[in-house]
Amino acid sequence: MQKIVVFQQNGSGKTKIEGINRFGANRFSVETYDIDEPLPPVIDDASSYLPKTIDADIVLDYLTHRDLSEDLSLLCEKLNIPVIASGRKITAGKVLCPRTCCTLPKHKELGDYGRDFGAPDIEVVLDNDIITEIKVLRGAPCGATWNAARKIKNMPVKDALTRFGLEVQFFCSANPAGWDPLWGKSPVHVAADIHSAVLKAYLKKLEKH
């Protein structure tokens, strides 16, 4: 069982923890390290807020204070623990910062987590242009991929191509106000586009067979 430690502030990692526990097939042990007290705008040394050591295979950083994240990344680098900080721009240490949870590519060092969670991977079964089955092989840790897939089952392909992305937006827990000038979109829209593109690509593959 892979041990994951989630660092969060005021429940900021709640939906991801729930998704990992629900869709992780009991392969993960998830612990949380909560920092809920009010914090100053600038923290020169975050050691008083962070543990001295961490016992984990992977650390998921859902902290909202950049200074905490920077020092957490340095600590994990020292302990040789991979860190994922989705939607963040952390430059200290060796941290993976995908734009959203569902844009994380596969990384060998992430083990089972990297195989189960990140950029979506699906399989679809069709019957006369109706999606009769959709299997999620890899999806967003918040559970949006699995929840959206359930919504488009038994739906005509032409409707599902639009609906899949919309359903992902409904279930996505990213901050819709987090507009990125480089992408020109919020992370919620990025998540929707990625899922729609994966479904479209798989259906095109089916057409060739």
Residue 13 — pLDDT band, cuts 50, 70, 90? very high
CATH numbers and ranges of domains, the chain: 2-97 (3.40.50.2300), 121-207 (3.90.1010)
- Burial class (CB within 10 angstroms; exposed 0-12, middle 13-18, buried 19+) of 195: buried
Specify the pLDDT at position 184.
62
**Rg over CA atoms, the chain:** 18
Specify the pLDDT at position 186.
83
CB 102 within 8 A of CB 194: yes
Which residues, 6 or more positions from 180, have their beta carbon under 8 angstroms from its beta carbon? 99, 186, 187, 190
Quick check: helix, strand or coil at residue 23? helix
Specify the pLDDT at position 174.
78
Which residues, 6 or more positions from 181, have their beta carbon under 8 angstroms from its beta carbon? none
Which pLDDT tens digit goes with each residue over 69-93? 999 999 999 999 999 999 888 999 9
Distance of CA 185 to the CA centre of its chain: 17
Amino acid at 205: K
CB 14 within 8 A of CB 70: no
Specify the pLDDT at position 182.
56
Which residues, 6 or more positions from 111, have their beta carbon under 8 angstroms from its beta carbon? 2, 57, 58
Return the percentage of the chain with pLDDT > 90, whole number.
85
Which pLDDT tens digit goes with each residue over 165-202? 999 999 988 766 665 655 566 889 999 999 999 999 99
Which pLDDT tens digit goes with each residue over 120-140? 999 999 999 999 999 999 999
CB 67 within 8 A of CB 46: yes
Please name which of 57, 71, 54 lies closest in space to residue 28, comparing C-alpha atoms. Answer: 57
Please name which of 168, 77, 88, 87 lies closest in space to residue 122, comparing C-alpha atoms. Answer: 168
Rounded to an integer, what distance in angstroms lies between the CA atom of residue 194 and that of residue 139? 11
pTM of the entire predicted model: 0.91
Specify the pLDDT at position 90.
93
